[in-house]
Amino acid sequence: MKRLFIYLKEYRRECVLGPLFKLFEAALELFVPMIMASIIDRGIPSGDRGYLARMCLILILLGAVGLLASVTAQYFAARAATGFAARLRRVLYIHIQGFSYGEMDRMGTATMITRMTSDINQVQSGVNLTLRLLLRSPFVVLGAFVMALLLDVQAGMIFAVVIPLLALVVFLIMRFCVPLYRRVQEHLDRVLGITRENLTGIRVLRAFRRESNEIQEFDSENRDLTTMQLRVGRVSALLNPLTYVIVNLGLVVLLYTGALRVDAGILTQGVLVALVNYLSQILVELIKFANMIVAVNKAVASGKRIASVLEVPSGLSSGQKHAADGPAVKFDRVSLTYKNSGEPAIRDISFQAEAGQTIGIIGGTGAGKTSLIRLIPRFYDATEGCVSVFGTDVKEYDLQELRSLVGIVPQKAVLFQGTIRENLLWGREDASEEDLWEALRIAQAEVFVQEKEDGLDALVEQGGKNFSGGQRQRLTIARALVRRPRILILDDSASALDFATDAALRSALRKMPDSPVIFLISQRTSSLLHADLILVMEDGVVVGQGTHEELLKTCEVYREIYESQFRKEGAK
């Protein structure tokens, strides 16, 4: 939690001034019963109308000054709360952005989004309320107590019993409810998860006619959420009645004791009325305070969840070294084991790729092809061995520089909301119009972009939904090409392309000027025929490496793949 308060520091001024103005206002409020007492004890018996008018003027003045103080306090509180929330959102976003693949996998996107949105909203209203009420309420309670003592010590002692009793009740109820609020939030997360899932998987769910099952599942989660909310509600609903009982029993005792004191001539009637007023002020403030604590507790629970995300160290720290001399990519006895999984995804892999070469990677599902190439731009750190790029260990690279060297086209073709141009410029900010078209040409995307009414400025919807899978793939290839990478990685990126386009793409890539090192993951040997080096992978291990001809002779797995395809497709 402390972690979060750092971000409140910038609003130190607001955080001090806000409560201060609130306290000032509260202090003014404490004078009111005293003035009423003088009206009853002095003004009424003497019938002095001028005195009464003067007293009432003071009351109005107190109200007016209180109004100004309060508005000022609200402004500072709102500023601090919204500013704090904005900063927190920013920090959290930056932090999440720094998460590596592994951490994202573990925590899940839906959770991240709840943290960013509803949790921070809770914290915002919590801070706002705290600044306004946290000091004010105890101040009024204590102030009323002190005033009561000043008026009459014995009557004040009743306050000394009532106040701790009230505090105890509030404390006990809170202690019961707070953990439950956390459970409520967990249930809410689950309901959110199902909703999200039903949007992303809507086609499959409808194809399998799962609508009613999904409704059932949702209903049951939703019901659990409600049950949980009700359970918390039953206990937290005790707060107001219990405090009300305590204060009013105090009132009864006060009236009786007061009666004895008045009878003995120690107290006046006016003072008794003032004491009664102070007691009811305490009740009002405590109820406010309790409600505030409920809200603050929700905020604290949300805050803890946010803090727990911030506490996850964001995986990779950047080094400082730059590209040196050496082979473009070198793997030296590299293994990678993902967190929470016993088996290594790839094991003991060594190879070397020189500038200008094309490296093909072929192998079965789950053979570790994608894991292997993810180590090059350092999406994961190798658990053993060393990956170096242009002579420098990737762990020592300036991360920005390393990634700027690499153009990667992932399996899943993702585009972002905006225009085609904006998406392509991801590759390189300062790319010229010509560069963009050149990249589109090589990626075989020139024609369909040209056919768009707005050309490069055609809109891309979220996730690129308004493009077909193949178009998306070609645009993501173009995006990678725009950055003129020295290492280009195509992770089975042509899978949605028809065979003609795929072939044209490969031929265009080969003809590129200052051609980069190309890593080509493919399922088809025909795509890899011209590769300078082919890695054949099986179960996380390289079972053969060499050129097509060499592998045909030496690697049985490769031969098997080739022949099966040759028989199927290449019979000519």
Partner 1 sequence: MSWFVLKQVFSYLKKYWFLLLFSFLFAAITVALTLYVPVLTGQAVDAVIGPGQVNFSALQAVLFRIVVCVGGTALGQWLMNVINNRIAYRVVQDVRDKAFRHLQVLPLKYVDSYSYGETVSRIITDVDQFAEGLLLGFSQLFTGVATILGTLGFMLSIHLGITAVVVLVTPVSFLVASFIARRTYSMFQLQSETRGEQTAFVEEYVGNQQVVQAFSRERKALEQFDEINRRLEKCSLNATFFSSLTNPCTRFVNSLVYTGVGLVGAFAVIRGAISVGQLSCLLSYANQYTKPFNEISGVVTELQNAFACAARVFDLIEQPAQSPDPDPAMSLNADGSVKIEHVCFSYVPDKKLIEDFNLSVRPGQRVAIVGPTGCGKTTLINLLMRFYDVNSGEIFVGGTEIRMATRSALRASYGMVLQDTWLKNGTVRENLSMGKPDATDEEIRAAARASYADSFIRRLPQGYDTVLSEDGGSLSQGQKQLLCIARVMLCLPPMLILDEATSSIDTRTEIKIQQAFAKMMEGRTSFIVAHRLSTIREADVILVMKDGKIIEKGNHETLLAAGGFYAGLYNSQFAT
Contacting partner 1 within 322-351 (CB under 8 A): 338, 341, 343
To partner 1, the closest distance from the beta carbon of 432 in angstroms equals 18
Looking at 2-10, 170-178, 329-337, 356-364, which segment touches partner 1 (CB under 8 A)? 356-364
To partner 1, the closest distance from the beta carbon of 559 in angstroms equals 12
CA distance 179 to 85: 23
- Residue 2 or 317: which CB sits closer to partner 1? 317
- Residue 43 or 546: which CB sits closer to partner 1? 43
- Residue 165 or 191: which CB sits closer to partner 1? 191
Looking at 12-20, 156-164, 205-213, 386-394, which segment touches partner 1 (CB under 8 A)? 205-213
Kindly state whether residue 248 participates in binding partner 1, applying the rule CB under 8 A.
Answer: yes
Length of the chain in residues, anyone?
Answer: 572
- Residue 325 or 432: which CB sits closer to partner 1? 432
Binding characters for partner 1, 93-112, by CB under 8 A (x = yes)? xx-xxxxxx--xx--xxx-x
Task: Return the residue matching tokens 């998306």.
Answer: 472
- Residue 72 or 352: which CB sits closer to partner 1? 72
Kindly state whether residue 62 participates in binding partner 1, applying the rule CB under 8 A.
Answer: yes
* CA 344 remoteness from chain centre: 30
To partner 1, the closest distance from the beta carbon of 80 in angstroms equals 10
CA dihedral 432, 435, 436, 439 (to 10 degrees): -170
State the DSSP code for 397: B
State the DSSP code for 7: G
Kindly state whether residue 244 participates in binding partner 1, applying the rule CB under 8 A.
Answer: yes
Q: DSSP readout, 296-312?
A: HHHHHHHHHHHHHHHHS
Collapsing DSSP to helix, strand or coil, 443 comes out as coil
Residue type present at position 176? F
N-to-C CA span, the chain: 69
343 by Cβ neighbours in 10 Å (0-12 / 13-18 / 19+) ranks as exposed
Considering only 2, 50, 175, 241, the residue that binds partner 1 (CB under 8 A) is 241
Residue ranges in 531-560 that form contacts with partner 1 under rule CB under 8 A: 560
Considering only 196, 321, 441, 559, the residue that binds partner 1 (CB under 8 A) is 196
To partner 1, the closest distance from the beta carbon of 557 in angstroms equals 8
Cα dist. 233→59, 243, 283, 399 in Å?
Answer: 39, 16, 21, 50
Considering only 151, 290, 497, 509, the residue that binds partner 1 (CB under 8 A) is 497
- Residue 357 or 423: which CB sits closer to partner 1? 423
To partner 1, the closest distance from the beta carbon of 305 in angstroms equals 15
Looking at 140-148, 172-180, 227-235, 382-390, which segment touches partner 1 (CB under 8 A)? 227-235
Q: CB pairs under 8 A, 24+ apart, for 50-56?
A: none
Size of the site for partner 1 (CB under 8 A): 183
Look at residues 4, 207, 199 and name the one whose alpha carbon lies nearest to residue 88.
4
Considering only 136, 305, 347, 506, the residue that binds partner 1 (CB under 8 A) is 506
Kindly state whether residue 2 participates in binding partner 1, applying the rule CB under 8 A.
Answer: no
- Non-local (6+) Cβ contacts of 481 within 8 A are 407, 427, 438, 439, 442, 443, 488
- Residue 265 or 513: which CB sits closer to partner 1? 265
CA distance 295 to 309: 21
* CA 52 remoteness from chain centre: 59
Kindly state whether residue 320 participates in binding partner 1, applying the rule CB under 8 A.
Answer: no
Q: How many CB atoms lie within 10 A of CB 546?
A: 18
To partner 1, the closest distance from the beta carbon of 392 in angstroms equals 17
**Vertex 244: Cα angle to 242 and 247 (nearest 5):** 110
Tokens describing residue 204: 């499959």
Residue ranges in 278-307 that form contacts with partner 1 under rule CB under 8 A: 280, 284
Give yes or no for a contact between 385 and 334, defined as CB atoms under 8 angstroms apart: yes
- Residue 2 or 209: which CB sits closer to partner 1? 209
Residue ranges in 378-437 that form contacts with partner 1 under rule CB under 8 A: 379, 400, 403-404, 406, 408, 410-412, 414, 416-417, 426-427, 429
Kindly state whether residue 168 participates in binding partner 1, applying the rule CB under 8 A.
Answer: no
Looking at 76-84, 322-330, 383-391, 435-443, which segment touches partner 1 (CB under 8 A)? 76-84
CA distance 217 to 220: 5
- Residue 97 or 432: which CB sits closer to partner 1? 97
Binding characters for partner 1, 426-465, by CB under 8 A (x = yes)? xx-x------------------x-------------xx-x
Kindly state whether residue 492 participates in binding partner 1, applying the rule CB under 8 A.
Answer: yes
Q: What are phi and psi of 569, to 5 degrees?
A: -115, -35
Collapsing DSSP to helix, strand or coil, 316 comes out as coil
Collapsing DSSP to helix, strand or coil, 535 comes out as strand
- Residue 111 or 352: which CB sits closer to partner 1? 111
- Residue 388 or 525: which CB sits closer to partner 1? 525
Considering only 17, 140, 272, 286, the residue that binds partner 1 (CB under 8 A) is 272
To partner 1, the closest distance from the beta carbon of 438 in angstroms equals 18
Residue ranges in 13-32 that form contacts with partner 1 under rule CB under 8 A: 32
- Residue 202 or 333: which CB sits closer to partner 1? 202
Give yes or no for a contact between 541 and 432, defined as CB atoms under 8 angstroms apart: no
Directed axis angle between helix 269-311 and helix 136-151, to 10°?
160
Directed axis angle between helix 120-129 and helix 269-311, to 10°?
150
Q: According to the 3-state scheme, what is the secondary structure of 452-468?
A: CCCHHHCEECHHHCCCC
